[in-house]
Amino acid sequence: MRMNKYNLIFLGPPGAGKGTVAKDVVERLGVPHISTGDMLRDAVSTGTDLGNKVKSVMESGQLVSDELLFDLVKDRLSKRDCEKGFILDGYPRNVNQAKALDQIMDELNLELTSVIFLDVSEEEVVKRISNRRVCPKCSRVYNLISLQPKKDTLCDDDDTPLIQREDDKPETVRKRYQIYSEKTAPLVEYYRNRNQIITIDASGTVDKVDEIVFNTLEELR
Ligand code: ADP
Ligand code: ADP
């Protein structure tokens, strides 16, 4: 069995900071950041068959079907760059997907290193999400309070006006958190039973959370 040091899952409620921390970590580790949310949003914005199928489900804050995710994740993890390791962000989202991932990794001869669980209160994630703004062109993520763009409401990289994700509007955020509690939160127990979960206090600043995650990964070496 090939043993990669860092075959990681980032788990946590919507708005916990998974994407933000993952981007900082991949810069250091040089492994790909695999965000199923980003992949699906790309499919929607380029208007592929997959994108057309999932658009309305995503906008309403519901989960896309496990079958569609299975193929998407299996194809992505089969790519050469994943041999160095990877960070999976946003997958798995329920126990069925966790079992599917076990199967995918088995078939690809990959072994899970750890699940990094970003633990943060509902109150804090609602605050983070309602202030999240994204660049529709390059997908870079900002926050009106904690990670402001340099020029008011424009992306630092390409000057595109930032937007709020459709599913980040207040009515949908509450529903997404409820779905997280029902479907995704049980994965903490799933991976805890297998001794694979590492819980991180993600309530601090981005720098603080990055530091805790970097130190944790260092200890895994
Ligand atoms: P968040 O910021 O809440 O972590 P993501 O960007 O991960 O959101 O996901 C946005 C949306 O994309 C989800 O609400 C869901 O509709 C869809 N999605 C992403 N990953 C999955 C998945 N693993 N299973 C089902 N749906 C998913
Ligand atoms: P997720 O991928 O878990 O949905 P994001 O990484 O997109 O979460 O972060 C959600 C929002 O909160 C973004 O606007 C991001 O800039 C901001 N954010 C991320 N981490 C922190 C943090 N530790 N403190 C304050 N704001 C944060």
Range 19-47 average pLDDT: 95
| Rama region for 135: left / alpha / beta (φ>0; ψ in -120 to 50; rest) | beta
Terminal C-alpha separation, the chain: 18
Exposure letters 70-109 (e unless 16+ CB within 10 A, then b):
bebbbebbeeeebeebbbbbbbbbbeebbebbeebbeeee
Tell how far the Cα of 20 is from the centroid of ligand 2, in angstroms: 6
Q: Under 8 Å CB-to-CB from 25, ≥6 apart: which residues?
A: 87, 210, 213, 214, 217
Looking at residue 2, its pLDDT comes to 40
Mind listing the pLDDT tens digit for each residue in 146-159? 999 999 899 999 99
Q: What Cα–Cα distance (Å) separates residue 103 from each residue in 73, 81, 98, 110, 186?
A: 11, 20, 9, 10, 19
Range 158-180 average pLDDT: 95
18 is catalytic: yes
Looking at residue 220, its pLDDT comes to 86
Tell how far the Cα of 205 is from the centroid of ligand 2, in angstroms: 9
Where does the pLDDT of residue 4 fall: very low under 50, low under 70, confident under 90, or very high at 90 and above? very low
Q: Would the pLDDT of 176 be above 60?
A: yes
Atom of ligand 1 nearest to the CA of 180: 3
Beta strands in the chain (DSSP E): 7-11, 33-35, 86-89, 114-119, 132-134, 141-143, 197-201
Mean pLDDT (the chain) is 95
Q: Would the pLDDT of 101 be above 70?
A: yes
Neighbours of 4 (CB within 10 A): 16
Mind listing the pLDDT tens digit for each residue in 197-215? 999 999 999 999 999 999 9
Where does the pLDDT of residue 5 fall: very low under 50, low under 70, confident under 90, or very high at 90 and above? confident
132 is catalytic: yes
Looking at residue 221, its pLDDT comes to 78
* Both structure tokens of 146: 């904690």
Q: Which ligand neighbours the alpha carbon of 117 most closely?
A: 2
Looking at residue 175, its pLDDT comes to 95
Give 143's strand partners: 132, 147
Closest CA to 147 of 156, 136, 138, 139: 156
Range 46-70 average pLDDT: 97
- Does the C-beta of 91 come closer than 6 Å to ligand 1? yes
Per annotation, catalytic residue among 41, 55, 76, 132 = 132
